[in-house]
Amino acid sequence: RTRPFQVAIDGPSASGKSTTARLVAKRLGFDYIDTGAFYRCVTLSALQKGVDPSDSKNISRIAALASDAKIDLKTEFHASASTLPTTRVFLDSKDVSSDIRTSNVSKHVSVVAAIPAVRQSVVQKVRALGAEDIDSSAKESKQTATTSAPSSSRAGLVMDGRDIGTSVLTHADLKVFLVADSHVRAVRRLEELRKNGSQDALLDVKQVQEDLERRDESDRTRAVSPLRKADDAIELDTSNLTIEEQVDVIVKEALRRQGKI
* Residues in 139-168 that interact with ligand CDP by CB under 6 A: 161-164
Is residue 174 within 8 Å of residue 7, measured between CB atoms? yes
Among 215, 247, 251, 253, binds ligand CDP (CB under 6 A): 215
Examine residue 35 and tell whether it contacts ligand CDP (CB under 6 A): yes
Helix, strand, coil content of the chain in percent (nearest 5): 50, 15, 35
Q: Of 102 and 147, which has the nearer Cβ to ligand CDP?
A: 102
Q: How many chain residues interact with ligand CDP (CB under 6 A)? A: 29
Angle between helix 59-68 and helix 116-130 axes, rounded to 10 deg: 10
Q: Pick the stretch among 91-99, 141-149, 198-206, 235-243 that binds ligand CDP (CB under 6 A).
A: 235-243
Contact with ligand CDP (CB under 6 A) among 24, 25, 44, 113:
113
Residue selected from 26, 40, 108, 127 as contacting ligand CDP according to rule CB under 6 A: 40
For 133-196, give the DSSP string. -HHHHHHH-TTGGGG---SS--SEEEEEESSIIIIISTT-SEEEEEE--HHHHHHHHHHHHHHT
Radius of gyration of the chain (CA): 17
Closest to ligand CDP by CB, 28 or 227 = 227
Residues that bind ligand CDP (CB under 6 A): 11, 13-19, 35-36, 39-40, 109-110, 113, 161-164, 188-189, 192, 215, 219, 238, 241-243, 246
